[in-house]
Structure 1
């Protein structure tokens, strides 16, 4: 592409980034895909960015913040996901999370934060990508928990539940044996320590169709579950049941 075309790609990606961070979580991966082509981008990348902007303008973004009742009895639910080797020709991977404040009795929720980006180091497995995504999401969840304690008082100790769809990550966290990849031991160790210190109350494994964060890390992933949750201000019943099974 020419210099002007690359400048246009950067401008459109900037517009996408601003909107994704404020209202359009479902377009997170499209934004990431655009941002990784600032060098060596093609006309096809420019067309993809334009198509995403058209989609953004033609579809409404609705965010519902439900009345959760007594906030001291609410819980923090963190959905994290990752995709291994799906950026830059298979070199880089994607991580993402969605954070909710939830009334556990009826599933009503308020979206607190979402984020998706390229993992900041090259990883060698799906397990590594998922574990890194989990730790990044937990960092945000615990920071939000501390903020709520400052607002509501130290007696407000909100439970934090993390939901993942990668069975290897779940089993590694609950195993007494170290993972083979030494770099990965740090991330797994962090999660284990957070469980031990009660910063993380529960790590839950669900199957892929129940992972709300799935479209943040994959091109073309079905965003219906994520969009429905944000629009209705309620965690879908099938997701809640999957978490409890």
Structure 2
């Protein structure tokens, strides 16, 4: 860790491991030509070691490893050649950014806001399960107006527990998990900053704080103290319009529950285009990590007003 007036830069202890010890699985020359064949004992043994290294980094220091580490882990103990090839690709991607670091900004409590980012990929994991990803960010309150300091506090990639029948349902379940994670972090920050905070009164405390916050939710003109970022237009529209809609009644109920949970923490929903989705790479074996790397490299983020983005 490197502490300066500009903030705390957390450098990965995984850096030396990525550079020197996290190596790819070695194949016999002809093996890659049969990607649907089962991996042999040597490839599985090597793969377990590599997967363990990815998992270790993904849990603590390398959010860019979280997606492939989670998805490929589900293929063991009987991975295919293609699974091991994808594992190698994940290692090579990490090795291109061995010195990745996470910046924690010194934001005054009066300007500090928390938010969640969630994404999902439908039926792209083992047994046609869907993969969800969630992140929690801490940012300066003017994020919706200018490029502002933003710190990544938490990330996760994992299979969505329920079997879902659509991309919308997968995105909804992932957002539900993200809202729960955001709520936990908001309570934790409140406990640190507010000496009189009592956990049993967390709903009332977070709602009361909402009157002091001034982040505008463009969807309804109200003031919000937190944001939840998604890239699914259908989910965004269902959450920001006064309708239950949709043929999937189970998912409609889940959306209503999310609405209630958002109201409890006085949070709004914001939409970003897929190319700006920080959590995209956490839902795939080889996802788009550009926005994630940009956030980690610069320590900043900005969200553009939805209407102008959706017209493009």
TM > 0.5 between the two? yes
Deviation at 1:119, TM superposition (A): 1.0
Counterpart of 1:99 (choices 126, 131, 136) is 136
Aligned position for 2:101: 62
Deviation at 1:234, TM superposition (A): 0.9
Deviation at 1:82, TM superposition (A): 0.7
Aligned position for 1:226: 292
Q: Are the structure 2 counterparts of residues 175 and 13 from structure 1 closer, same or farther at C-alpha, using a change threshold of 3 Å?
A: farther
Structure 1: gaps spanning 5 or more residues: none
Aligned position for 1:194: 261
Q: Are the structure 2 counterparts of residues 200 and 53 from structure 1 closer, same or farther at C-alpha, using a change threshold of 3 Å?
A: same
Whole-Å separation in 2 of the counterparts to 1:58 and 1:206: 27
The answer to whether 1:203 aligns with 2:266 is no
Whole-Å separation in 2 of the counterparts to 1:201 and 1:166: 18
RMSD of aligned residue pairs (Cα, Å): 2.3
1:105-116 correspondence runs (5 A)? 105=142, 107-116=148-157
The answer to whether 1:150 aligns with 2:191 is yes
Q: Secondary structure at the match of 2:176?
A: helix
Deviation at 1:3, TM superposition (A): 4.4
Q: Is the 8 A contact 2:132 2:160 kept in 1?
A: yes
Aligned position for 1:11: 49
TM-score, normalization by structure 2: 0.70
Q: Are the structure 2 counterparts of residues 242 and 229 from structure 1 closer, same or farther at C-alpha, using a change threshold of 3 Å?
A: farther
Deviation at 1:180, TM superposition (A): 2.5
Asked which structure has the greater CA Rg, the reply is 2
Structure 2: gaps spanning 5 or more residues: 1-38, 198-204, 211-224
Structure number with greater CO (CA < 8 Å, separation at least 6) is: 1
